[in-house]
A and B are shown apart, each in its own frame.
Chain A
Amino acid sequence: MARDSQAARVALNRFGFGARGGASGDLINAASDPRGFVKAELARPSGVLLEAPGLQSTPQLGQAVFAYQDQVKQAREAAKAAGSTEAPAQAPADQKPALRRNLSLNAAATEVAGQMADAKPADSAAKPEMQPNMAAPQPAKPAPQPLNVIQKTFRAEALARLQRATLAECGFTERLVVFWSNHFCISASKGELARIWAGAFEREAIRPHVLGRFADMLKAVEQHPAMLFFLDNQQSLGPDSRAGQNRKRGLNENLAREIMELHTLGVGGGYTQDDVTSLARIITGWTFAGRQGQLGAPGSFVFNTNAHQPGPQMLLGKTYEPTGLAQGEAALADIARHPSTANFIATKFVRHFVADDPPPALVARLRDVFVKTDGDLKALATALVDSDDAWKASLTKMRSPYDFLVASGRLLARVPEDPGAYLNSLNLLGQPLWSPAGPNGFPDTSAAWAVPEGMKLRLDIAAQMGARLGNNIDPLDLLEFAAADAASIDTRRTVERAESRQQALALLLMSPEMQRR
């Protein structure tokens, strides 16, 4: 039997998150039936959902933030009342807002690579104890500040996502989650609510629809409190609504514009400034209940009639009657079905999976599937896997920092127990988790990531991983797991001839086989 290692590499790297090391046998399994290996995950839609003990719903998390903010305020007022003007405002001890840790340089670096090294080997899940740290002596660290509820939640959400990505068989559905989450991104840096909600947003608005319908995902996203907060819609009032008249505030078109520009139609997708303003009016009143809970459970999506712009609205040539919440839902349903949306989504999808310059024929094919199935995302993913183009194109895409770290963790068969190393490395490499610089998300082209600065930093991180883990692994085994006979002779030779196992591991992690997908 001819083992098709190259097709297996496409299955695992283009569609998935890279081969797992250890006893997974991923590359061999993928080689025997590459398409079937990828599609197996599509047959298990419930596997996309992420439920882990301790992960809470958006309203629960919103309420936790409100309670936390109240505590901070009370502590501040108590300190003031006590007349101790010098006492810093503090929340109760266990929830004190942590200052940004000012780590010394080597402490920061040790943390980045060290936590990765300290992660639990995947095949020793029964042994929870940390591995002894045999590397350079740790510098004395200041006692860490206790994390507040927002930081704790963010880290727990990050950890759940990283563990899922590390353990997934192929990782195709996890890659789909990351793709859609970046398409409909929010940024945790917007504020405390965005930070605590970042993971819940992905679990609640993205994951349930990754193998469902685009229109359902669109509605779930635009009605999610995290998105309404991120793009200011909770502040937007219909100028002629009761609230708008009373408070003399009005429209904010931020969310409406990004819905059309970034989420659906795309720039040049056939909408005008008037359409932006119209959609902004249509979705006035889409908000979330605040801490007082006047409109509903605090932190839950609500439609506030008092803030909604009354009257019919003309959008993209169609009139939407004043039907309250249903007016916006009807508008979104139509936008989801717009031909520009199909084109925009198909293009982005192919760019992510196949090539920076997406092959037009494949884009056209996926666009047609999107249109014919009324935005069935499972059909879209299936059509991609079924196409020959997606298998023939060479693996030229540069791995994003997140891809690089997850693929490395998988190959090293280390399931993270603490997200710190990943989060720090992502910050360093310019892709802070759930925190893109703007609502267009992180870039998805090689030009953005194959840059001098980034490559040097990747090498430094890979060298650290090599230094910490090189003792315990055989780099040639890892090369076998990652690429087998599809590895280039140059890479094989470079790994073989390294002066140490540590160096060999660093070079393997940096090889084109691990950097490209």
Chain B
Amino acid sequence: MIDCVENRLLTSRRGLLLGGASFAAWAYLPKFARAADGRDPRLVVVILRGALDGLATVAPIGDPDYAGLHGSIALTADGAHPAIMLDSFFALHPAMPEFARMYRDKHAAVVHAVATPYRDRSHFDGQDVLESGYAGPGRVQSGWLNRALEALPRGERVSSGLAVGPTTPLVLRGNAPTVGWAPVALPQADDDTAMRLVDLYRHRDPALASALSQGLQLEKAASGDDMKRKPGNAVTQMRQVARGAAKLMAADDGPRIAALAFDGWDTHANEGGPVGRLAFLLGGLDGALAEFETGLGDRWRDAVVVVATEFGRTARINGTDGTDHGTGTIALLAGGAVKGGRVIADWPGLKLANLHEGRDLKPTTDLRSVIKGVLQGQFGLSDRVLAETVFPDSAAAKPMKGLVA
């Protein structure tokens, strides 16, 4: 009997213990998804909250100042855990073999010395700028990915059932309706109770009516078999979220565009070098990328995953074998549609005089240019829409060409 109850619950509501991770997606298919050219592009945006140390992830080993600045946690090309050389200058963290393989197969690329227009060092403002797409911090309630969705011709509603997560990342918040996942499953309120409540809200509280109706619509039949709650650490959670997201996105009527956020990148102390805390997290990220590749199956061919973070960390390690809040960092691109196998960088150098404010990697590429390049390559958004609507007042940051094959 108990099994029966469980089965019913399992088929009516699926959840996932996300911990420091969350997933949300657009509730509609873009109309061109079945367009004549046969391309059916997918886009995943992965936000790393806490500020990723770009110099520790893709290390400029060829820069004569790198080893001294990154000190005890610097990567090296030899030793017990050698970094993976991407070219003669940059080396990838050894915890990321899957990304390295994609890079070799020319389905992954790195953009280095990149930053949003934000130049202060508050996580929360930095994340707001990264996700809102506005040039500066401020209280806004929509993100650039959501505004990009609004610019796309809306097709059929996504019918895959998703339970809903407790938060939607700002990057995907806005007018375009989105769907997400719950961290854990509960027995559902019955439909009748839900409908009565929606009716009450319609009369008294339209905002709650809209929120709850959206939540309820996602309750319809779900599919997949391993989305139930499992214990696990942050790393397995990253993989689980990616696996579930990929599965949903792989379906014919699944969402084409999604955002995830992974927490925990604020490595002030004991960041670790080739092994240690950051290595652990990067292993989780690497695993998540591999899950997308596997889970999307044939769809991977037309997919791009963008990994971005609010800012970088100090070029020089601090007094506690970690790094403090900085500026320039990296963005990662992975997916069959990426024109990969390259590190794209106008390298500023790490001499003291070249560091931003004498402490951080100087950004030479605007992250908005990278994202615009991807949005244009994947979905054909015009320069003008990108410069006015998606990233307001950003005409100077031209879309980067040739990112998408």
Contacts and interface: CB of A to CB of B under 8 A. Distances in A.
Contacts of A494: 196-197, 199-200
Interface stretch (A9-17, A250-258, A289-297): A250-258
B156 interface: no
B122 A100 contact: no
A459 B204 contact: no
**A-B interface, 4 closest residue pairs, ranked by CB to CB distance from nearest:** A250-B319, A430-B166, A456-B215, A453-B164
A124 interface: no
Interface stretch (B59-67, B73-81, B89-97, B224-232): B224-232
19 contacts: A105-B6, A232-B320, A235-B320, A252-B324, A267-B125, A427-B183, A438-B124, A440-B123, A450-B207, A452-B215, A453-B181, A455-B211, A457-B186, A459-B194, A463-B190, A494-B196, A494-B197, A506-B197, A507-B197
Interface in B123-166: 123-125, 137, 141, 164-166
Nearest to B189: A463
A237 B121 CA distance: 22
Given A429-B166, A512-B200, 19 more contacts: A99-B231, A103-B229, A105-B9, A106-B6, A251-B318, A252-B268, A257-B325, A261-B122, A273-B357, A428-B182, A430-B166, A430-B167, A437-B263, A447-B141, A452-B215, A453-B164, A456-B216, A457-B166, A464-B187
Interface of B: 1-2, 5-6, 9-10, 15, 20, 49-50, 120-125, 137, 141, 164-168, 179-190, 192-194, 196-197, 199-201, 203-205, 207-208, 211-216, 218-219, 228-231, 263, 266, 268-269, 318-322, 324-325, 357, 359
Nearest to A500: B193
Contact of B10 (A105, A466, A515): A105
A408 B118 CA distance: 42
Given A251-B318, A447-B141, A109 B212 contact: no
Contacts of B207: 446, 450
Contact of B164 (A103, A261, A456, A499): A456
Contacts of B263: 437
A139 interface: yes
Contacts of B322: 252
Interface string A496-517: 0011000100110011100110
Contacts of A103: 229
Nearest to A513: B204
Contacts of A254: 268-269, 324
B319 A251 contact: yes
A109 B187 contact: yes
B308 to A, nearest CB: 18
A259 to B, nearest CB: 13
A222 to B, nearest CB: 17
A409 interface: no
A386 B196 CA distance: 39
A455 B208 CA distance: 8
A506 B231 CA distance: 30
The binding surface of chain A is classed by DSSP as helix
A460 B321 CA distance: 46
A455 B189 CA distance: 11
A45 interface: no
A394 to B, nearest CB: 12
A305 to B, nearest CB: 17
Contacts of A252: 268-269, 318-320, 322, 324
A112 B219 CA distance: 20
B185 A109 contact: yes
Contact of A453 (B123, B168, B193, B205): B168
Contact of A105 (B120, B185, B266): B185
A448 B213 CA distance: 17
B186 A461 contact: yes
A249 interface: yes
Contacts of A516: 205
Contacts of B188: 460, 463
A66 to B, nearest CB: 20
A488 interface: yes
Contacts of B214: 452
A236 interface: yes
A136 B5 CA distance: 11
Given A236-B320, A447-B141, A100 B186 contact: no
A194 interface: no
Contacts of B197: 459, 494, 506-507, 510
Contacts of A235: 269, 320
A451 B186 contact: no
A239 B186 CA distance: 52
The binding surface of chain B is classed by DSSP as loop
B141 to A, nearest CB: 6
A43 interface: no
A503 B186 CA distance: 17
Given A108-B186, A429-B166, A491-B204, A244 B319 contact: yes
Contacts, number: 204
Most chain A beta-carbon neighbours within 10 Å: one of B188, B213, B215, B266: B215
Contact of A452 (B137, B212, B229): B212
B166 A454 contact: yes
A437 B166 contact: no
Contacts of B179: 452
B121 A273 contact: yes
B203 to A, nearest CB: 4
Contacts of B121: 257, 273
A456 B168 contact: no
A427 B141 CA distance: 24
Given A140-B2, A463-B189, A451 B167 contact: yes
B186 A428 contact: yes
B189 A459 contact: yes
Contacts of B319: 236-237, 239, 244, 249-252
A507 B324 CA distance: 49
A102 B164 contact: no
Contacts of A261: 122
A451 B168 contact: yes
A428 B187 contact: no
Interface string A77-106: 000000000000000000000011011111
A103 B167 CA distance: 23
Contacts of A438: 49-50, 123-124, 266
A470 to B, nearest CB: 11
Contacts of A460: 186-189
A363 B183 CA distance: 37
B215 A453 contact: yes
B196 A249 contact: no
A498 B196 contact: yes
B229 A108 contact: yes
Interface string A427-445: 1111000000110100000
Contacts of A237: 319-320
Contacts of B218: 452, 456
A491 B192 CA distance: 16
A272 to B, nearest CB: 10
A440 B124 contact: yes
Contacts of B124: 267, 438, 440
A490 interface: yes
A446 B206 CA distance: 13
A462 interface: yes
Contacts of B231: 99-100, 102
Contacts of B49: 437-438
A239 B168 CA distance: 42
A103 to B, nearest CB: 8
A158 B50 CA distance: 28
A108 B184 contact: yes
Contacts of B325: 257
B172 to A, nearest CB: 12
Contact of A515 (B123, B181, B186, B208): B208
A112 B184 CA distance: 12
Contacts of B215: 451-456, 459
A108 B15 CA distance: 12
